[in-house]
Structure 1
Amino acid sequence: MKTTAQRRHRRALAGGRTEPSASPAFAPLRGPGAALAALAGAQFTVMLATSIVNVALPQIQAGVGLSDGGTTWVVNAYGLAFGALLPAGGRAADLLGRRRVLLTGLALFAVSSGAAGLATTPGVLIGARAVQGLAAAAIAPAALALVMDLFPPGPGRGRALGVWGAVSGAGGAAGVLLGGVLTQAGGWPWIFHAVAIGASATLVAAAFVLPRAPVEDSGRFDLLGTVVVTLALTALVWGLTTARGSGWTDIRVLGALALAAVLLAAFTLVERRRPHPLIPPRLFTAGRVTAGNVLMALLGSVWIALFFFLPLYQQQVLGSGPVVTGLGQLPLAAANMLGSALAPRVCRRIGARATVTAALLTEAGGLLWLSRVSVRGSYLADVLGPSILVGLGLSVAFVQLTALAVEGVAKEDTGLAGGLVNTTRQVGGAVGLAVLATVAGSVTARAGTEVPHLEALTAGYRAAFALSAAVLAATALLALVLTRRGARDADVAPPTTAVTTAAR
């Protein structure tokens, strides 16, 4: 019987493209553990760049002369490019080679991060952040697809996805902490220089530990579909982010959302006629891809908003400084890492369906607890306990929904599946934050006519946390329906200790 390596070698001799190889001197480093560490580092860097700017926005605004509206685009430019280009990044990884796309993305990420740190004008800074987002859209799906290649279904994949979930949560929390520390110690440019250094180190490590593999010819890149869906997602995310400040009735918001709807309808029609569509219909007939993406979008709608409102409550109501606020995220990050480590074990014991439902209800309980925050509260009384509950539930749900979203997908589509689940999380986050910010703002505005400003702010935050808890409770009920398939589901492929050493 021919081995997997022999079959790949034959395909390569028959004309398959082969990715560049790392130096033979570093061949002993090419183990699954070293590869997973490099891939986790790539994901950590992407998540770090998402949140590290939030605490430093006032200093960035003064440093490059941004207007109030321009300041929001330091965040939005990254998020827009990242969310809109993820499907294209995932498909490019499948067609061009996951290792190649990952390394190219890391190189571009390092260069654009360095450029952001050196920026002296608003245009250069915002442009560099957009390029960061483009690079992240290549890194995230390629790295996730490589993890799926390295670890076949079974306990090994579960543990790998646990690591993936841990670094994702840790990257978001670390960004808040490092943003405060670096801004206070060395100035705002260092938040970008630190990301550039991290991306460069990850690039070097990945180049050494990820071996080459033949790139199978699985179709052509759907340029028309990519352009249409990218414009649609850009219009959608732009409209939602603009709605936070301008309101839902603003003509620009309504126009952007209408354009997004038209373009998404056009994308559906275009894809039906393409011989090699960007998002082939077969993707949604494999495993529980649809269920994983729907549930991930709902989880994302609460996830992004949590890291928006919680630091605001700590700083604006409790009076914490940037560094103390960042330190306050550490228990949440620790709970996130613990939950990610436990998720595979819990899933093997009670099944994916029960695991997802319990995790969502746990996070909902933590958010319901946060909905009781007080203007006269404290970190220990109002934030610490619910943060731990939220961190545990969020991490377990994220790990299992990621697994569901790529379950049963053909190997040639794993990059696309990884890009799609990241897209649904990003778009879900944009929708959720826009809605929750509108609700919180409305509650604060009404309360502001009757109570002091801080009490009105707190009332708005309570409303956002309460609505988030309700969304997750409803998501848990939906998960019971969407993930129904057999008694002991998900991650239930026959256990195996074999690990594929070739990573595409």
Structure 2
Amino acid sequence: MTSQAIDLQKSGSVSDLDPRRWLALVVIGIAQLMVVLDATIVNIALPDAATALHITDANRQWIVTAYALPFGALLLLGGRIGDYVGRKKILMIALGGFALASALGGIAQNFAMLAGARALQGVFAAMLAPSTLSMLTVTFRDPKERAKAFAVFGAIAGGGAAVGLVLGGLLTEYATWRWCLLVNIPISVIAIVGTSIYLHESSTERQGSYDVLGALLATIGLGMLVWGFNQASSHSWSSPNTWGFLVGAVVLLVVFVWWESRNPHAILPLRILKDRNRAGSYLVGLLVGTGLFAVFLFLTFFLQEVKGWSPVKSGVAFLPFSVGVIIGAGVGSQLVLKVGARIVVPVGLVLGVIGLLLLSRLSLTTGYLGTVLPAILLISIGMGFIFMSTTNVALHGVDAGDAGVASAMVNTTQQIGGSLGTALLSTFAVSSTVSYLAGHSTGGAPDKLLMAAAQVHGYTVAFVWAAGFFAAAAIASVLMINASRQDAASAEPGMAAMV
């Protein structure tokens, strides 16, 4: 008997005829909206937060990284805990914890407090995200209704990012950047009340361990890797403060792989990586995440700090990205059925490379319509191609028992890539800014014009590196992904929608 069948037996009152199932979808959607909002709303608020808390250029990337790293590293463990303890119970705990972490961030008095609160948000998000997906699956058993429910869920995931951009701008400009975190509190309260009333408990009878050791090895190893990248901006790559952490990270990650290969209850069963296409989709996700997160970070700084745009105007400037992703996903979903992921994925990545190279031409006089907007559209349409196709490839031919971890790994690799890339590209940007100032300074403190030019130079260097990661992903996709249109047609759409 499959775990899904067991879930359905245990939650017998959750049926297709349950009149409250659509209200349950509203509650699940609110919970998911909060996670999606936090991925974008803080980016718009970051320049104001950095100024208010005196966060250095080298450290402000941690406000993004501190959330993405535990989110990605603990996502698989969070799903496993929900399976065993009960998804409704874990969802309510995660919602409460997320609200508490948001409150701590909203009242943060310094960098350490804000970064710590963001990390705590990431921990609870890793519990929350898989719980919402699991609850959606067991609440809607009828295939047609489930497809509708996942369509609504997907719309929230896509549209929520756009809402976060605009809401972040409005709250930052007309209230304070702190409300970009505090807004999660009322959302969490509504979701907790709704969960207690409209959702039914669901769990699995599978026995096994949580693989806490595996989760700790991965999280600490990745954390040391990010910290090592960060140290290079204030020290040098040859400094023990840099390479010491990098070497330690490699050792821990090697031990993690060794442990996972021998643990029957591994958080990451290495057998799912044996499929060439699946491994290729994860590698593409990792490399894309490495380059993509920097787009939002550095473009936000460019628009607000260099161009002097307001938070609201900056948020609206990013809206075409959400539109482009929707267009790309719609077109890509048709193309993948006609030509296969082996064509669609590289095409999407090439579009991303072109867009990032356009951004590498930014200057103090660059206009939005001539350069930034075309770049955003190219990158976002390419992302629509990639996200849909790699999810499809990751789920093709996977055993039923591994479907959950296989789908979750798509999001995991993107989040981990984002945390690593944000740290690494921020280091490149800061180092390049410092070098530019040193090469163009005439003595004394640099004026505002020189400082702005140096900042833009740092951003363009970061965009070139991001384009390099996308190019590497394109090469990896050509070498590893050979899924045809027949493979795409045979992938289970319901599971693909869950990611």
- TM-score (norm: length of structure 1): 0.81
Give yes or no for the alignment of 1:362 onto 2:351.
yes
Aligned to 2:478: 480
1:377 corresponds, among 366, 389, 398, to 366
- Structure 2 unaligned runs (5+)? 442-449
1:321-350 CA deviation, whole Å, 9 max, x = no partner?
222111211122222233334443332233
Aligned to 1:199: 188
Aligned to 1:460: 458
For residue 186 of structure 1, report the CA deviation from its aligned partner: 1.9
Q: Please tell me whether the aligned partners of residues 29 and 156 of structure 2 are also in contact (alpha carbons under 8 angstroms).
A: yes
Give yes or no for the alignment of 1:28 onto 2:19.
yes
User: CA 1:124–1:57 in structure 2 vs 1: closer, same or farther (change >3 Å)?
Assistant: same
Mean CA deviation greater in 155-164 or 352-361: 155-164
Aligned to 1:15: none
Give yes or no for the alignment of 1:116 onto 2:105.
yes
Matches within 5 A, 1:400-439: 400-439=389-428
For residue 36 of structure 1, report the CA deviation from its aligned partner: 6.2
* CA–CA separation in structure 1 for the residues paired with 2:128 and 2:281: 21
Mean CA deviation greater in 136-145 or 113-122: 113-122
- One-letter amino acid matched to 2:464: A
User: CA 1:293–1:160 in structure 2 vs 1: closer, same or farther (change >3 Å)?
Assistant: farther
Aligned to 2:314: 325
* CA–CA separation in structure 1 for the residues paired with 2:261 and 2:361: 49
* CA–CA separation in structure 2 for the residues paired with 1:186 and 1:375: 29
Aligned to 1:265: 254
For residue 390 of structure 1, report the CA deviation from its aligned partner: 1.4
1:462-493 CA deviation, whole Å, 9 max, x = no partner?
33323323432332232122111445332434
2:380 corresponds, among 364, 381, 391, to 391
- One-letter amino acid matched to 1:355: V
- Structure 1 unaligned runs (5+)? 13-17
* CA–CA separation in structure 2 for the residues paired with 1:429 and 1:298: 9
For residue 305 of structure 1, report the CA deviation from its aligned partner: 0.9
Q: Please tell me whether the aligned partners of residues 248 and 254 of structure 1 are also in contact (alpha carbons under 8 angstroms).
A: yes
Matches within 5 A, 1:9-408: 18=10, 27-30=18-21, 39=28, 41-57=30-46, 59-60=48-49, 73-119=62-108, 125-144=114-133, 167-168=156-157, 170-205=159-194, 211-213=200-202, 215-285=204-274, 288-408=277-397
Q: Please tell me whether the aligned partners of residues 87 and 203 of structure 2 are also in contact (alpha carbons under 8 angstroms).
A: no
- One-letter amino acid matched to 1:177: V
Q: Please tell me whether the aligned partners of residues 342 and 484 of structure 2 are also in contact (alpha carbons under 8 angstroms).
A: no
Tell me which of the two structures has the higher relative contact order, counting C-alpha pairs closer than 8 angstroms and 6 or more residues apart: 1
* CA–CA separation in structure 2 for the residues paired with 1:348 and 1:454: 47
Q: Describe the SS at the equivalent of 2:18.
A: helix
Q: Please tell me whether the aligned partners of residues 292 and 402 of structure 1 are also in contact (alpha carbons under 8 angstroms).
A: yes
* CA–CA separation in structure 2 for the residues paired with 1:155 and 1:355: 27
- One-letter amino acid matched to 1:366: G
- One-letter amino acid matched to 1:308: L
Q: Please tell me whether the aligned partners of residues 162 and 340 of structure 1 are also in contact (alpha carbons under 8 angstroms).
A: no
Mean CA deviation greater in 410-419 or 63-72: 63-72
User: CA 1:21–1:112 in structure 2 vs 1: closer, same or farther (change >3 Å)?
Assistant: farther
1:173-214 CA deviation, whole Å, 9 max, x = no partner?
543432232122222331122122233434455566655445
What is the aligned residue count?
486
Q: Describe the SS at the equivalent of 2:487.
A: coil
Q: What is the aligned-residue identity percentage?
A: 34
Q: Describe the SS at the equivalent of 2:356.
A: helix
- One-letter amino acid matched to 1:466: V
User: CA 1:26–1:53 in structure 2 vs 1: closer, same or farther (change >3 Å)?
Assistant: farther
User: CA 1:481–1:62 in structure 2 vs 1: closer, same or farther (change >3 Å)?
Assistant: closer
* CA–CA separation in structure 1 for the residues paired with 2:134 and 2:479: 27
